[in-house]
Amino acid sequence: MKKNQLGSSVLYVTEIGFGCMSIGTIEAQGIRLIHEALDQGINFLDTADLYDFGRNEEIVGQALKGKRQDVILSTKVGNRWHENKEGWFWDPSKAYIKEAVKKSLSRLQTDYIDLYQLHGGTLEDPIEETIEAFEELKQEGLIRYYGISSIRPNVIREYVHRSNIVSVMSQYSILDRRSEEEVLGLLQKNQISLIARGPVAKGNLSDKVLNKPIDNGYLDYHAEEIVDLVKRLKALSTADRSVSQIALRFALAHPAVATVIPGASRLEQVYENVKAAKALPLTVEEIRQIQQWSKANRYESHR
């Protein structure tokens, strides 16, 4: 499988990665999904301490026994759980990041994290303190590189100009092109990679939508609009390139995108995602056509 350099780092990630959030909480099932993804050639796994209260990291750690050296492992930090508070709360402080990384390392059963990401962020955060925490973790050898997971252009801009991030994880798909206007060009100019999450838009960009549309739509698309768009994409599909694979190839077509991380809760989904690596890339004309069919939506509320 093709590998792309992750920003300015020495990490080379497969263009199809694996988002571990959907593997569930049953250990045997999760391990099987991860092992199959690795056997199919994927080398980039993404998880977070937030997923299932750390259970996701534990399953990933179990799955990587004897395989750690072959994997580029990514997790996230910043969302904190406290028994005396209701739900998760945001804590990007240096003290918490340096405390949380040790717990993630323990759950993942590893001595280091290849890519440690801030799981969110606002302009009101103590950004310099947050950056300092990541830089110290690098110096201590607990992480190799760091990035942020954010859909906020103004927050992304601050980290691009003030830190040494090598990546930004953000939603990017045919149905969510918000990052095209403000983010992708900025990242490309600064040799920072986008890790595209949600590339099939919660399953909306797949053939199955034609049989059973998702009632509540997606972002500023109504269900009927999604069906119409998928019918158009279907016209571009071939025996070797399904609608969902077209969706993955669309996200990968932008030079700032290093990898896409579709999730999978079944083995069939793993195989479908991996096939996109062998599918023909979209032509310039096909990309232009897809852009005409879809909306050039932009960030309004998340700034």
Residues assigned a catalytic role: 51
Chain centre to alpha carbon of residue 268: 20
Q: What amino acid occupies position 257?
A: V
Q: Which of these, 291, 270, 303, lies nearest to 32 by C-alpha position?
A: 270
Ramachandran quadrant class, 149 (left: phi over 0; alpha: psi -120 to 50; beta: rest): beta
Give dist(CA 283, CA 121) in Å, integer. Answer: 36
Give dist(CA 105, CA 121) in Å, integer. Answer: 22
Instruction: Locate 103 and state its tokens.
Output: 């717990």
